[in-house]
Structure 1
Amino acid sequence: MTARSYEVRTYGCQMNVHDSERLSGLLEDAGYVRAPKGEPADVVVFNTCAVRENADNKLYGNLGHLAPAKAERPGMQIAVGGCLAQKDRDTIVRKAPWVDVVFGTHNVGSLPVLLERARVEQEAQVEILESLDVFPSTLPTRRESAYAAWVAISVGCNNTCTFCIVPALRGKEKDRRPGDVLAEIETLVGEGVIEVTLLGQNVNAYGSDMGDREAFSKLLRSCGRIEGLERVRFTSPHPRDFTDDVIAAMAETPNVMHQLHMPLQSGSDTMLRAMRRSYRQDRYLGIIERVRAAMPDAAISTDIIVGFPGETDEDFEQTLHTVREARFAAAFTFQYSKRPGTPAATMDGQVPKEVVTERYQRLLALQEEISWAENRTQVGRTLEVLVAEGEGRKDHDTARLSGRAPDNRLVHFERPADGVRPGDMVSVEITYAAPHHLLAERPPLAIRRTRAGDAWERRTATPAPSPGVLLGMPSVGAPVAVGAPTATAGCCD
């Protein structure tokens, strides 16, 4: 019999992207094969996000587009998982009765069984657990990159930010044991991975359920002792838990990159209080000051919400002031939108749309100016760039390649005559800076072939098309989420 094909469509933050790698791994472990790009799949899985205001409309619109295809293809199945599935539960099947499986954030591993049960019983299967049944990192994973990998160190969040629905959907924070995290990283390095990004909804609160407040800094230092691991990143930390021992670990561990994405959300103490963010402007800027004292070359990025309920002109000016003082390399800026089930949705003082839009445009213009100025400081520097796959949308037309500098800035460089593979390292001299990227207009000064490049070469010896990710939190390095002007902050904040 021909193996059934699958496609996973992902929406949301890095945690969802990593969950989709697990969904793909589970399906392939169960005998499914990835559908070639552009061809219909026997099983389509939606891994949803509930952060954005119009998440529901997008999901039901996409499900509606698939209904005729499913009617024409007996045996085709549709599954919906992720945060929106956790929130809406039976509503999905009621609005889209052609959906076969609905599963939540706590039972990703159930997907293959639920699909088979739906096929045999000929009726929709809805399984939503209220707590985690197995830590997701123990599940099979089909990673999208041969050279870089996500590694979840915790799931869930103990914060109560009034704008965020994620803790209600992902549950309380649950940490993995350090030995399990390090064992996974060592396995990945053995497979050719040279860069890992540690993931958590509140990544630097790691250790809270183990009773060790310095667990995260200890984990960073332990990563520094893994031979062959060249780059370590993490996202997203919370200012409340960002302590000096983490700054010291970043500065003193050679393979921990001098790059920090730390959500601000607002520069106004009044708004931070209303958001239940347990820090104030002076504490936030103090952290930035200490990070730069320890790592002068650090690139710092952030998330900012514009138009939170009750925000006045004075509150917004405090946000602009904080942005000027912090001089972020990039900022992912979002217009506030109501999320049912969050305290902020029913707060007084909802800001008129036209006011939010005007403030948003002013913030964009300021951050664009700062990002450009910060990027211009890189001109003339020689940077070692990890060559990436698919980062430069115009690479084919411009005869260039693209990759990430140590501080995660996006770099485009002239394609060398000698073969360079994704996962290899090139040293380039930066000749031009734009607000969103750097450019090296001359050939690389040096090329270092790596185990990661070898791993990429092995993986692509038999090409396998990728379905891609439709919508995710932008990679750190792009100043603004231009395509999402009506979004709230991402879930990893």
Structure 2
Amino acid sequence: MKVGFVSLGCAKNLVDTEVMLGLLDQGGYVITDQPEDAEVLIVNTCSFIDSAKEESISVILQMGDYKKHGKCRCLVVAGCLGQRYRDELLNELPEVDAILGTSAWGRIIEAIEAVQAGSRVLFIDEMTSIYDDKSPRIRTTPNYSAYIKIADGCSNCCSYCVIPRVRGNFRSRPIESVVAEAKNLVSRGVKEINLIAQDTTSYGRDRTGQSKLTELLRELVAIEGEFWIRLLYCYPNYFTDELIELIANEPKICKYIDLPLQHAHDDVLLAMNRRDSRQDIETLLKKIRSTIAGVAIRTTFIVGFPGETEEQFRSLRDFMAEQRFDHVGVFSYSQEEDTPAGAMTEQIPDEVRQARYHELMALQSQISESINRGLEGMTVRVLVEGQVEGETTLIGRSYREAPDVDGRVYIEGGADVARDVGCFVNAKIIQGFAYDLVAEPAEE
């Protein structure tokens, strides 16, 4: 049977998709990227905020049309939306044949076989599972870049967030399992390993009571080969001095910190059930910048949180202007049911939230352009990802840009030096824009 897949949401969800693909391939199914040819269609969904839920529903309905106009005989909904809204999906979307919760990805073949036998199934397992290095997996990312999910779930319980409800408590993989997976990826030519979890710096605390991220990283950098390691979703909690020193001194670890902060006013942080104060955050940022030369810092902020006053928003805006982050993602607060914040009475009107969102994004665009102009003349190592069609310009990313969320480096004339996708080349930055950099080949 031919199986088609749509994976929505974050990279952590994508890893679950890749493991399901591996299980299906192992089970003799044929994977197709043509939904009209698929006899089974699987949508791995996201339900983090309203826009993600709307996208998931839209794609489910779109895939459902192939039951009428294509070859599809089985439509499976997997992931967060199914975990969170299982009953509503079954009752309101008759085209859905099976629902798999966030920990039921290992039962994908069982679900398809049950539907073939005439059943409509719902598999919502206890949220304790996580894949390991022995799990079959078909990567959908480019062959030179891969994600490794070192933990699943979250135990932080931020007041606006549904992740603990749909993903379960934080649970880490053993170090030896992560290292074995990384060795396999490097042996297959992977040049970029992106470590992900809902809260990367909490890695190992569920097992030992203390963060084991630095211990894991020391094992990973000892793997032979030319590759770099990128840390994503590093919450400020447990971002230790030891970790900062390791990032500063280890060439294989990108000098790139993804540090979700969410706000900068103490009263809002407290209402969000965040564990840091503004002073804590400023102290950490100062320590990171003074220790890690050339570090690039990405963060995320939420505007329009219930009760956020104009003064508190201005405090956040001033904080952004002072700190000058390299990359910032801004989210307009989404009121989610079954969360403490969703039940708060002082909900901010949508037009106010949107105005604050656009104001911060405009500010960040100015900051990013200023920072990127300041990089002109700097030589960076670039991971080549492609070539502009019909030109000799290469497209890639330096240590400063994470996949999918940040900008690109365009190396004019780079194809005269190297054409291989997935190789590293040196490039001298000649022009900086708000999101992208233009460079020229530099001596190796």
Q: TM-score range by the shorter chain?
A: over 0.9
Match runs of 1:395-406 below 5 Å: 395-396=388-389, 399-406=392-399
Is 1:413 the equivalent of 2:411?
A: yes
Deviation at 1:398, TM superposition (A): 5.4
One-letter amino acid matched to 2:397: R
Corresponding residue to 2:240 among 223, 243, 246: 243
Q: Name the counterpart of 2:299.
A: 302
Give the secondary structure class of the aligned counterpart of 2:116. Answer: helix
Q: Could you tell me how far apart the structure 1 residues matched to 2:301 and 2:125 are?
A: 32
Give the secondary structure class of the aligned counterpart of 2:207. Answer: coil
Residues 397, 312 of structure 1: alpha-carbon distance in 2 compared, 3 angstrom cutoff: farther
Answer whether contact 2:36 2:66 (CA < 8 A) is retained.
Answer: no
Deviation at 1:90, TM superposition (A): 2.7
Q: Name the counterpart of 2:196.
A: 199
Q: Name the counterpart of 1:438.
A: 437
Q: Name the counterpart of 2:421.
A: 422
Deviation at 1:36, TM superposition (A): 4.1
Q: TM-score, normalization: structure 1?
A: 0.85
Is 1:324 the equivalent of 2:321?
A: yes
Q: Could you tell me how far apart the structure 2 residues matched to 1:419 and 1:303 are?
A: 35
Is 1:348 the equivalent of 2:308?
A: no
Deviation at 1:206, TM superposition (A): 0.8
Q: Could you tell me how far apart the structure 2 residues matched to 1:300 and 1:322 are?
A: 14
Q: Could you tell me how far apart the structure 1 residues matched to 2:191 and 2:16 are?
A: 21
Residues 265, 327 of structure 1: alpha-carbon distance in 2 compared, 3 angstrom cutoff: same
Q: Could you tell me how far apart the structure 2 residues matched to 1:134 and 1:355 are?
A: 40
Q: Name the counterpart of 1:455.
A: none
Deviation at 1:332, TM superposition (A): 0.5
Corresponding residue to 1:131 among 127, 131, 137: 127
Q: Could you tell me how far apart the structure 2 residues matched to 1:316 and 1:397 are?
A: 46
One-letter amino acid matched to 2:342: A
Residues 324, 397 of structure 1: alpha-carbon distance in 2 compared, 3 angstrom cutoff: farther
Residues 251, 134 of structure 1: alpha-carbon distance in 2 compared, 3 angstrom cutoff: closer
In structure 1, the gaps of 5 or more residues are 448-493
Answer whether contact 1:109 1:139 (CA < 8 A) is retained.
Answer: no
Query: Mean alpha-carbon deviation: is it higher for 168-177 or for 28-37?
Result: 28-37
Q: Deviations over 1:197-244 (max 9, x none)?
A: 111110110111222524111111222211115201111011122121
Q: TM-score, normalization: structure 2?
A: 0.94
One-letter amino acid matched to 1:149: A
Deviation at 1:378, TM superposition (A): 1.3
State the superposition RMSD in angstroms.
1.9
One-letter amino acid matched to 1:405: S
Deviation at 1:55, TM superposition (A): 3.6
One-letter amino acid matched to 1:318: S
RCO higher in 1 or 2 (8 Å CA, sep ≥ 6)? 1
One-letter amino acid matched to 1:13: C
Match runs of 1:42-61 below 5 Å: 42-61=39-58
Corresponding residue to 1:66 among 52, 63, 66: 63
Match runs of 1:179-194 below 5 Å: 179-194=176-191
Deviation at 1:418, TM superposition (A): 5.3
Q: Could you tell me how far apart the structure 1 residues matched to 2:284 and 2:398 are?
A: 23
Residues 56, 214 of structure 1: alpha-carbon distance in 2 compared, 3 angstrom cutoff: closer
Answer whether contact 1:307 1:356 (CA < 8 A) is retained.
Answer: yes
Q: Name the counterpart of 2:404.
A: none
Corresponding residue to 1:115 among 104, 112, 117: 112
In structure 2, the gaps of 5 or more residues are 402-406
Deviation at 1:260, TM superposition (A): 0.4
Q: Name the counterpart of 1:141.
A: 137
Q: Could you tell me how far apart the structure 2 residues matched to 1:138 and 1:172 are?
A: 23
Answer whether contact 1:257 1:406 (CA < 8 A) is retained.
Answer: yes
Deviation at 1:139, TM superposition (A): 2.2
Give the secondary structure class of the aligned counterpart of 1:239. Answer: coil
Match runs of 1:83-98 below 5 Å: 83-98=80-95
Give the secondary structure class of the aligned counterpart of 1:431. Answer: strand
Q: Name the counterpart of 1:486.
A: none
Residues 380, 134 of structure 1: alpha-carbon distance in 2 compared, 3 angstrom cutoff: closer
Answer whether contact 2:36 2:72 (CA < 8 A) is retained.
Answer: no
Taking only the aligned residue pairs, the percentage that are identical comes to: 32
One-letter amino acid matched to 2:254: M
Residues 47, 255 of structure 1: alpha-carbon distance in 2 compared, 3 angstrom cutoff: same
Give the secondary structure class of the aligned counterpart of 1:222. Answer: helix
Residues 365, 72 of structure 1: alpha-carbon distance in 2 compared, 3 angstrom cutoff: closer
Number of matched pairs: 437
Q: Could you tell me how far apart the structure 1 residues matched to 2:350 and 2:181 are?
A: 46
One-letter amino acid matched to 1:128: I
Match runs of 1:277-296 below 5 Å: 277-296=274-293
One-letter amino acid matched to 1:94: N
Q: Could you tell me how far apart the structure 2 residues matched to 1:286 and 1:271 are?
A: 19
Query: Mean alpha-carbon deviation: is it higher for 244-253 or for 48-57?
Result: 48-57
Q: Deviations over 1:91-112 (max 9, x none)?
A: 2121111212110111111101
Deviation at 1:148, TM superposition (A): 1.4
Q: Could you tell me how far apart the structure 1 residues matched to 2:349 and 2:169 are?
A: 34
Q: Could you tell me how far apart the structure 2 residues matched to 1:294 and 1:354 are?
A: 41
Q: Name the counterpart of 1:483.
A: none
Q: Could you tell me how far apart the structure 1 residues matched to 2:71 and 2:38 are?
A: 12
Deviation at 1:322, TM superposition (A): 1.5
Superposition misfits of 4+ residues, deviation over 6 angstroms:
none
Q: Could you tell me how far apart the structure 1 residues matched to 2:255 and 2:246 are?
A: 11
Q: Could you tell me how far apart the structure 1 residues matched to 2:417 and 2:292 are?
A: 34
